[in-house]
Protein backbone atom coordinates (compact mmCIF):
# COMPACT_ATOMS: atom_id res chain seq x y z
CA UNK A 1 0.00 0.00 0.00
CA UNK A 2 2.79 2.45 0.89
CA UNK A 3 4.67 1.72 -2.33
CA UNK A 4 1.56 2.42 -4.43
CA UNK A 5 0.95 5.63 -2.50
CA UNK A 6 4.49 6.82 -3.22
CA UNK A 7 4.12 6.07 -6.92
CA UNK A 8 0.88 8.05 -7.05
CA UNK A 9 2.53 11.04 -5.42
CA UNK A 10 5.45 10.96 -7.84
CA UNK A 11 3.09 10.74 -10.82
CA UNK A 12 1.02 13.65 -9.50
CA UNK A 13 4.15 15.71 -9.00
CA UNK A 14 5.23 14.97 -12.59
CA UNK A 15 1.82 15.98 -14.02
CA UNK A 16 1.86 19.19 -12.01
CA UNK A 17 5.30 20.01 -13.41
CA UNK A 18 4.18 19.36 -17.01
CA UNK A 19 1.03 21.41 -16.47
CA UNK A 20 3.02 24.28 -15.10
CA UNK A 21 5.37 24.19 -18.07
CA UNK A 22 2.45 24.01 -20.50
CA UNK A 23 0.64 27.05 -19.14
CA UNK A 24 3.88 29.03 -19.18
CA UNK A 25 4.43 28.17 -22.83
CA UNK A 26 1.01 29.54 -23.87
CA UNK A 27 1.66 32.78 -22.06
CA UNK A 28 5.06 33.08 -23.74
CA UNK A 29 3.50 32.79 -27.25
CA UNK A 30 1.09 35.59 -26.45
CA UNK A 31 3.68 37.95 -25.07
CA UNK A 32 6.64 36.71 -27.10
CA UNK A 33 8.58 36.39 -23.83
CA UNK A 34 10.11 33.14 -22.61
CA UNK A 35 10.00 32.60 -18.84
CA UNK A 36 12.16 30.10 -16.98
CA UNK A 37 10.26 27.93 -14.50
CA UNK A 38 12.13 25.92 -11.86
CA UNK A 39 10.78 22.42 -11.48
CA UNK A 40 10.06 21.37 -7.87
CA UNK A 41 10.54 17.73 -6.93
CA UNK A 42 8.73 15.96 -4.11
CA UNK A 43 11.11 13.99 -1.88
CA UNK A 44 9.70 10.97 -0.04
CA UNK A 45 11.22 9.23 3.00
CA UNK A 46 11.19 5.45 3.24
CA UNK A 47 11.45 5.58 7.05
CA UNK A 48 8.36 4.57 9.08
CA UNK A 49 6.24 7.46 10.32
CA UNK A 50 6.20 6.15 13.89
CA UNK A 51 9.23 4.67 15.61
CA UNK A 52 10.92 4.69 19.03
CA UNK A 53 14.09 6.81 18.83
CA UNK A 54 17.38 5.49 20.15
CA UNK A 55 17.36 8.17 22.82
CA UNK A 56 13.82 8.74 24.04
CA UNK A 57 13.10 12.46 24.70
CA UNK A 58 12.75 12.97 28.46
CA UNK A 59 9.65 15.14 28.07
CA UNK A 60 7.81 12.16 26.56
CA UNK A 61 8.79 9.63 29.23
CA UNK A 62 6.23 8.35 31.71
CA UNK A 63 6.19 10.19 35.03
CA UNK A 64 4.97 8.00 37.90
CA UNK A 65 4.91 10.96 40.26
CA UNK A 66 7.29 9.14 42.63
CA UNK A 67 10.45 11.19 43.14
CA UNK A 68 13.29 9.00 44.44
CA UNK A 69 16.68 9.88 42.92
CA UNK A 70 19.44 7.42 42.14
CA UNK A 71 21.72 7.15 45.19
CA UNK A 72 24.72 9.47 44.88
CA UNK A 73 27.08 6.85 46.33
CA UNK A 74 25.66 4.03 44.22
CA UNK A 75 23.05 1.41 45.01
CA UNK A 76 23.68 -0.53 48.21
CA UNK A 77 20.63 -2.70 48.59
CA UNK A 78 18.84 -5.59 50.23
CA UNK A 79 16.27 -8.08 48.97
CA UNK A 80 12.69 -8.10 50.29
CA UNK A 81 9.96 -10.66 49.81
CA UNK A 82 6.37 -9.50 49.54
CA UNK A 83 5.81 -10.75 53.07
CA UNK A 84 8.42 -8.31 54.37
CA UNK A 85 7.49 -5.41 52.10
CA UNK A 86 3.82 -5.67 52.99
CA UNK A 87 4.14 -6.78 56.60
CA UNK A 88 5.27 -5.67 60.04
CA UNK A 89 8.98 -6.26 59.27
CA UNK A 90 9.04 -3.35 56.87
CA UNK A 91 9.43 -0.86 59.71
CA UNK A 92 12.59 -2.51 61.05
CA UNK A 93 14.08 -2.82 57.56
CA UNK A 94 13.48 0.87 56.89
CA UNK A 95 15.17 1.58 60.20
CA UNK A 96 18.16 -0.48 59.01
CA UNK A 97 18.34 1.73 55.91
CA UNK A 98 18.26 4.89 57.99
CA UNK A 99 20.99 3.73 60.40
CA UNK A 100 23.44 2.49 57.78
CA UNK A 101 24.77 3.32 54.31
CA UNK A 102 22.27 0.91 52.81
CA UNK A 103 19.93 2.85 50.53
CA UNK A 104 17.96 0.56 48.22
CA UNK A 105 15.43 -2.27 48.29
CA UNK A 106 14.90 -5.00 45.71
CA UNK A 107 11.25 -5.96 46.18
CA UNK A 108 9.46 -8.97 44.73
CA UNK A 109 6.85 -7.77 42.24
CA UNK A 110 6.61 -11.11 40.43
CA UNK A 111 8.04 -13.88 42.56
CA UNK A 112 9.59 -17.31 42.01
CA UNK A 113 6.18 -18.99 41.63
CA UNK A 114 4.70 -16.46 39.24
CA UNK A 115 2.60 -14.59 41.80
CA UNK A 116 2.34 -10.86 41.17
CA UNK A 117 2.58 -9.56 44.69
CA UNK A 118 0.74 -6.24 44.43
CA UNK A 119 -2.18 -4.81 42.47
CA UNK A 120 -1.09 -3.49 39.09
CA UNK A 121 -3.22 -1.81 36.46
CA UNK A 122 -3.23 -4.33 33.61
CA UNK A 123 -5.97 -5.58 31.30
CA UNK A 124 -4.12 -8.85 30.72
CA UNK A 125 -6.45 -11.63 31.89
CA UNK A 126 -3.75 -14.01 33.14
CA UNK A 127 -1.90 -11.24 34.92
CA UNK A 128 -5.13 -10.35 36.71
CA UNK A 129 -5.61 -13.99 37.72
CA UNK A 130 -2.10 -14.18 39.17
CA UNK A 131 -2.21 -10.86 41.03
CA UNK A 132 -2.27 -10.92 44.84
CA UNK A 133 -2.88 -8.15 47.38
CA UNK A 134 0.14 -8.92 49.54
CA UNK A 135 1.69 -5.46 49.19
CA UNK A 136 -0.16 -2.16 49.02
CA UNK A 137 1.76 0.05 46.58
CA UNK A 138 -0.16 3.13 47.72
CA UNK A 139 1.39 2.61 51.15
CA UNK A 140 4.74 1.26 49.98
CA UNK A 141 5.82 4.03 47.63
CA UNK A 142 5.25 6.93 50.05
CA UNK A 143 7.24 4.97 52.67
CA UNK A 144 10.17 4.57 50.30
CA UNK A 145 9.95 8.15 49.05
CA UNK A 146 9.81 9.60 52.56
CA UNK A 147 12.93 7.68 53.58
CA UNK A 148 14.84 8.14 50.32
CA UNK A 149 15.00 4.41 49.62
CA UNK A 150 15.64 3.58 45.97
CA UNK A 151 13.03 1.05 44.74
CA UNK A 152 13.98 -1.86 42.46
CA UNK A 153 11.30 -4.24 41.16
CA UNK A 154 12.37 -7.89 41.01
CA UNK A 155 10.52 -9.75 38.27
CA UNK A 156 11.17 -13.48 37.93
CA UNK A 157 10.77 -14.19 34.22
CA UNK A 158 11.05 -17.75 32.95
CA UNK A 159 10.62 -19.62 36.23
CA UNK A 160 6.85 -19.52 36.60
CA UNK A 161 4.68 -22.27 38.03
CA UNK A 162 1.46 -20.30 37.58
CA UNK A 163 1.80 -19.47 33.91
CA UNK A 164 3.11 -22.95 33.07
CA UNK A 165 0.11 -24.55 34.77
CA UNK A 166 -2.42 -22.23 33.14
CA UNK A 167 -0.79 -22.35 29.70
CA UNK A 168 1.17 -25.59 29.18
CA UNK A 169 1.66 -24.55 25.55
CA UNK A 170 3.93 -21.77 26.81
CA UNK A 171 6.02 -24.23 28.81
CA UNK A 172 7.89 -27.52 28.40
CA UNK A 173 5.77 -30.66 28.43
CA UNK A 174 6.10 -34.44 28.46
CA UNK A 175 4.60 -36.58 25.70
CA UNK A 176 1.45 -37.04 27.82
CA UNK A 177 0.92 -33.27 27.89
CA UNK A 178 1.92 -32.77 31.52
CA UNK A 179 4.20 -29.86 32.37
CA UNK A 180 7.85 -30.69 33.05
CA UNK A 181 9.21 -29.62 36.46
CA UNK A 182 12.68 -29.81 37.95
CA UNK A 183 13.57 -31.87 41.01
CA UNK A 184 12.36 -29.10 43.28
CA UNK A 185 8.96 -29.12 41.59
CA UNK A 186 9.40 -25.80 39.79
CA UNK A 187 8.16 -25.26 36.24
CA UNK A 188 9.60 -22.92 33.62
CA UNK A 189 8.02 -21.15 30.69
CA UNK A 190 9.58 -21.07 27.25
CA UNK A 191 12.12 -18.30 26.50
CA UNK A 192 11.63 -18.86 22.77
CA UNK A 193 8.04 -17.58 22.89
CA UNK A 194 7.29 -13.89 22.44
CA UNK A 195 3.97 -14.23 24.26
CA UNK A 196 5.96 -15.11 27.37
CA UNK A 197 8.20 -12.09 26.80
CA UNK A 198 5.23 -9.74 26.50
CA UNK A 199 3.56 -11.18 29.60
CA UNK A 200 6.57 -10.32 31.76
CA UNK A 201 7.22 -6.98 30.11
CA UNK A 202 3.63 -5.97 30.80
CA UNK A 203 4.23 -6.65 34.50
CA UNK A 204 7.43 -4.59 34.27
CA UNK A 205 5.65 -1.64 32.64
CA UNK A 206 3.03 -1.57 35.35
CA UNK A 207 5.73 -1.75 38.04
CA UNK A 208 7.38 1.28 36.44
CA UNK A 209 4.07 3.11 36.53
CA UNK A 210 3.84 2.44 40.28
CA UNK A 211 7.15 4.26 40.76
CA UNK A 212 9.86 1.59 40.69
CA UNK A 213 13.01 3.10 39.21
CA UNK A 214 14.79 -0.09 38.18
CA UNK A 215 13.30 -3.25 36.67
CA UNK A 216 15.41 -6.22 37.68
CA UNK A 217 14.74 -9.38 35.66
CA UNK A 218 15.68 -12.61 37.39
CA UNK A 219 15.71 -16.18 36.04
CA UNK A 220 16.41 -14.88 32.55
CA UNK A 221 17.37 -18.32 31.36
CA UNK A 222 16.38 -21.86 30.52
CA UNK A 223 16.23 -24.43 33.34
CA UNK A 224 19.59 -25.57 34.65
CA UNK A 225 20.91 -28.60 32.78
CA UNK A 226 18.50 -28.06 29.90
CA UNK A 227 21.06 -29.45 27.46
CA UNK A 228 20.53 -32.86 29.09
CA UNK A 229 16.75 -32.87 28.59
CA UNK A 230 16.45 -30.89 25.37
CA UNK A 231 15.33 -33.98 23.41
CA UNK A 232 13.04 -35.29 26.15
CA UNK A 233 10.55 -32.42 26.38
CA UNK A 234 8.15 -30.91 23.87
CA UNK A 235 8.23 -27.17 23.23
CA UNK A 236 8.02 -24.58 20.45
CA UNK A 237 10.98 -22.67 19.05
CA UNK A 238 8.74 -20.19 17.20
CA UNK A 239 10.84 -17.83 15.05
CA UNK A 240 14.03 -19.71 15.92
CA UNK A 241 12.76 -22.96 14.40
CA UNK A 242 14.42 -22.44 11.02
CA UNK A 243 17.67 -21.08 12.41
CA UNK A 244 20.97 -22.49 11.19
CA UNK A 245 22.35 -22.17 14.72
CA UNK A 246 22.76 -25.22 16.92
CA UNK A 247 20.58 -25.67 20.01
CA UNK A 248 23.05 -23.98 22.35
CA UNK A 249 23.33 -20.89 20.16
CA UNK A 250 19.57 -20.75 19.69
CA UNK A 251 19.07 -20.61 23.44
CA UNK A 252 21.63 -17.83 23.73
CA UNK A 253 19.88 -15.90 20.96
CA UNK A 254 16.47 -16.25 22.62
CA UNK A 255 17.66 -15.06 26.03
CA UNK A 256 19.68 -12.18 24.57
CA UNK A 257 16.83 -11.13 22.28
CA UNK A 258 14.42 -11.02 25.21
CA UNK A 259 16.71 -8.72 27.18
CA UNK A 260 17.20 -6.37 24.22
CA UNK A 261 13.47 -6.35 23.47
CA UNK A 262 12.56 -5.66 27.11
CA UNK A 263 14.94 -2.72 27.25
CA UNK A 264 13.44 -1.18 24.10
CA UNK A 265 9.90 -1.65 25.36
CA UNK A 266 10.70 -0.04 28.71
CA UNK A 267 12.54 2.95 27.25
CA UNK A 268 9.50 5.27 27.47
CA UNK A 269 9.07 4.51 31.19
CA UNK A 270 12.33 6.10 32.36
CA UNK A 271 13.61 3.07 34.27
CA UNK A 272 16.90 1.23 34.33
CA UNK A 273 16.85 -2.38 33.19
CA UNK A 274 18.96 -4.84 35.12
CA UNK A 275 19.44 -8.59 34.85
CA UNK A 276 20.54 -11.18 37.40
CA UNK A 277 23.00 -13.69 35.99
CA UNK A 278 25.02 -16.63 37.30
CA UNK A 279 28.52 -15.57 38.32
CA UNK A 280 30.15 -18.44 36.49
CA UNK A 281 28.69 -17.13 33.21
CA UNK A 282 31.40 -14.45 33.23
CA UNK A 283 34.13 -17.08 33.41
CA UNK A 284 33.10 -18.98 30.25
CA UNK A 285 32.06 -18.02 26.74
CA UNK A 286 28.45 -19.03 27.36
CA UNK A 287 26.52 -21.33 29.65
CA UNK A 288 25.47 -24.13 27.27
CA UNK A 289 22.23 -25.26 28.89
CA UNK A 290 20.67 -22.10 30.23
CA UNK A 291 21.38 -19.75 27.33
CA UNK A 292 23.24 -17.04 29.24
CA UNK A 293 26.08 -15.22 27.51
CA UNK A 294 27.49 -12.72 30.00
CA UNK A 295 28.93 -10.33 27.44
CA UNK A 296 25.88 -10.22 25.16
CA UNK A 297 23.42 -9.75 28.02
CA UNK A 298 25.64 -7.05 29.51
CA UNK A 299 25.65 -4.94 26.37
CA UNK A 300 21.83 -4.87 26.40
CA UNK A 301 21.21 -3.73 29.98
CA UNK A 302 21.87 -0.73 32.20
CA UNK A 303 22.94 -2.87 35.16
CA UNK A 304 24.35 -6.40 35.39
CA UNK A 305 23.95 -8.22 38.71
CA UNK A 306 26.11 -11.31 38.94
CA UNK A 307 25.17 -13.73 41.70
CA UNK A 308 28.61 -14.38 43.20
CA UNK A 309 27.70 -15.89 46.55
CA UNK A 310 30.76 -17.84 47.81
CA UNK A 311 28.49 -20.77 48.74
CA UNK A 312 27.38 -21.19 45.11
CA UNK A 313 30.83 -22.03 43.76
CA UNK A 314 31.81 -25.69 43.69
CA UNK A 315 34.95 -27.08 45.38
CA UNK A 316 38.05 -25.83 43.59
CA UNK A 317 36.23 -23.09 41.68
CA UNK A 318 38.29 -19.97 41.05
CA UNK A 319 41.27 -21.92 42.41
CA UNK A 320 39.75 -22.05 45.90
CA UNK A 321 39.30 -25.45 47.57
CA UNK A 322 36.37 -24.46 49.78
CA UNK A 323 34.89 -21.22 48.40
CA UNK A 324 32.38 -20.56 51.19
CA UNK A 325 35.24 -20.31 53.68
CA UNK A 326 36.96 -17.50 51.74
CA UNK A 327 34.47 -14.73 50.90
CA UNK A 328 37.06 -12.07 50.13
CA UNK A 329 39.12 -14.29 47.81
CA UNK A 330 36.05 -15.59 45.94
CA UNK A 331 34.83 -12.09 45.13
CA UNK A 332 38.30 -10.77 44.28
CA UNK A 333 39.10 -13.62 41.89
CA UNK A 334 35.67 -13.43 40.28
CA UNK A 335 36.08 -9.70 39.66
CA UNK A 336 39.19 -10.36 37.60
CA UNK A 337 36.99 -12.21 35.09
CA UNK A 338 34.14 -9.71 35.15
CA UNK A 339 36.35 -6.65 34.77
CA UNK A 340 37.98 -8.18 31.70
CA UNK A 341 34.63 -8.95 30.05
CA UNK A 342 33.09 -5.57 30.83
CA UNK A 343 36.30 -3.80 29.91
CA UNK A 344 36.04 -5.26 26.42
CA UNK A 345 32.59 -3.68 26.03
CA UNK A 346 33.99 -0.18 26.50
CA UNK A 347 31.25 2.46 26.55
CA UNK A 348 28.58 -0.23 26.16
CA UNK A 349 29.44 -1.76 29.53
CA UNK A 350 26.66 -1.60 32.14
CA UNK A 351 26.97 -0.74 35.81
CA UNK A 352 28.18 -3.74 37.83
CA UNK A 353 25.99 -4.38 40.87
CA UNK A 354 26.67 -7.92 42.13
CA UNK A 355 24.59 -9.99 44.51
CA UNK A 356 26.65 -10.99 47.54
CA UNK A 357 26.00 -13.37 50.41
CA UNK A 358 24.49 -12.47 53.77
CA UNK A 359 23.31 -15.94 54.79
CA UNK A 360 24.89 -19.07 56.23
CA UNK A 361 25.01 -22.04 53.83
CA UNK A 362 24.86 -24.81 56.43
CA UNK A 363 23.45 -27.13 53.78
CA UNK A 364 26.98 -27.48 52.41
CA UNK A 365 27.88 -29.70 55.36
CA UNK A 366 30.40 -29.54 58.17
CA UNK A 367 33.79 -28.21 57.14
CA UNK A 368 32.49 -26.69 53.90
CA UNK A 369 30.73 -23.60 55.23
CA UNK A 370 31.19 -20.87 57.77
CA UNK A 371 28.71 -18.70 59.62
CA UNK A 372 28.21 -15.42 57.79
CA UNK A 373 27.84 -12.12 59.62
CA UNK A 374 29.03 -8.55 59.41
CA UNK A 375 32.69 -9.49 58.86
CA UNK A 376 31.99 -11.84 55.94
CA UNK A 377 29.69 -9.28 54.32
CA UNK A 378 32.33 -6.61 54.78
CA UNK A 379 35.01 -8.86 53.23
CA UNK A 380 32.95 -9.23 50.05
CA UNK A 381 32.24 -5.50 49.81
CA UNK A 382 35.91 -4.66 50.38
CA UNK A 383 36.90 -6.98 47.51
CA UNK A 384 34.35 -5.31 45.21
CA UNK A 385 35.66 -1.87 46.10
CA UNK A 386 39.25 -2.87 45.47
CA UNK A 387 38.23 -3.88 41.95
CA UNK A 388 36.40 -0.64 41.26
CA UNK A 389 32.82 -1.65 42.09
CA UNK A 390 30.91 0.38 44.68
CA UNK A 391 27.41 -1.07 44.19
CA UNK A 392 26.07 -4.33 45.61
CA UNK A 393 22.93 -6.18 46.68
CA UNK A 394 22.69 -8.35 49.79
CA UNK A 395 20.75 -11.60 49.52
CA UNK A 396 19.10 -13.31 52.44
CA UNK A 397 15.96 -15.28 51.59
CA UNK A 398 14.56 -14.61 55.06
CA UNK A 399 15.39 -10.89 54.81
CA UNK A 400 17.41 -10.98 58.02
CA UNK A 401 20.55 -8.91 57.47
CA UNK A 402 23.79 -8.59 59.40
CA UNK A 403 24.31 -5.30 61.20
CA UNK A 404 27.45 -3.28 61.85
CA UNK A 405 29.15 -4.14 58.52
CA UNK A 406 31.15 -1.46 56.77
CA UNK A 407 29.31 -0.86 53.50
CA UNK A 408 31.66 1.64 51.87
CA UNK A 409 35.45 1.78 51.47
CA UNK A 410 35.71 5.05 49.54
3-state secondary structure (DSSP) of residue 189? strand
pLDDT in tens, 67-77: 999 999 999 99
Q: E strands of 55-149, at which residues?
A: 76-80, 104-110
pTM, entire model: 0.85
CA distance 359 to 305: 18
pLDDT surpasses 60 at 2: no
Average confidence (pLDDT) over 47-51: 57
Directed axis angle between helix 137-147 and helix 90-99, to 10°? 20
What percentage of the chain has pLDDT greater than the value 90? 81
Cβ distance 35 to 28 under 8 Å? yes
Q: How confident is the model at residue 109 (pLDDT cuts 50, 70, 90)?
A: very high
The CATH number for 73-395, chosen from 3.40.50.2020, 3.20.20.80, 3.90.1010.10, 3.40.50.300, is 3.20.20.80
pLDDT in tens, 353-383: 999 999 999 999 999 999 999 999 999 999 9
Average confidence (pLDDT) over 269-289: 94
Lowest mean pLDDT among 5-19, 56-70, 286-300, 333-347: 5-19
Cβ distance 141 to 135 under 8 Å? no
CB proximity list for 57: less than 8 A, separation 6 or greater: none
Cβ distance 158 to 188 under 8 Å? yes
- 67-103 burial code (b ≥16 CB/10 A, e <16): ebeebeebbbbbbbbbbbbbeebbeebbeebeebebb
DSSP characters over 3-22: HHHHHHHHHHHHHHHHHHHH
Lowest mean pLDDT among 38-47, 181-190, 321-330: 38-47
DSSP assignment, residue 277?
Answer: E
Count CB-CB contacts under 10 A for residue 263. Answer: 19
Q: Where in the chain is CATH 3.20.20.80?
A: 73-395
Amino acid sequence: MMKKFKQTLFCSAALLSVSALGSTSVEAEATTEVQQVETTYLTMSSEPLLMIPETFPSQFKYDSGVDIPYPEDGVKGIFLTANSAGGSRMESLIDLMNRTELNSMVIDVKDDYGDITMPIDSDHELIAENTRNWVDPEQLMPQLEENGIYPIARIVVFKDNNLAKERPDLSFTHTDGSVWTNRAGHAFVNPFMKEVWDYNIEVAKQAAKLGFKDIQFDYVRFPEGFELRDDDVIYSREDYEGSDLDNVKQRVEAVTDFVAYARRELEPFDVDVSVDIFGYAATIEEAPGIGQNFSRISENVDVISSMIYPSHWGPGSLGIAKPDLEPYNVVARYMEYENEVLGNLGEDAPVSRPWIQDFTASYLGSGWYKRYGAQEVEDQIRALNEYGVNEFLLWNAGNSYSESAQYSFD
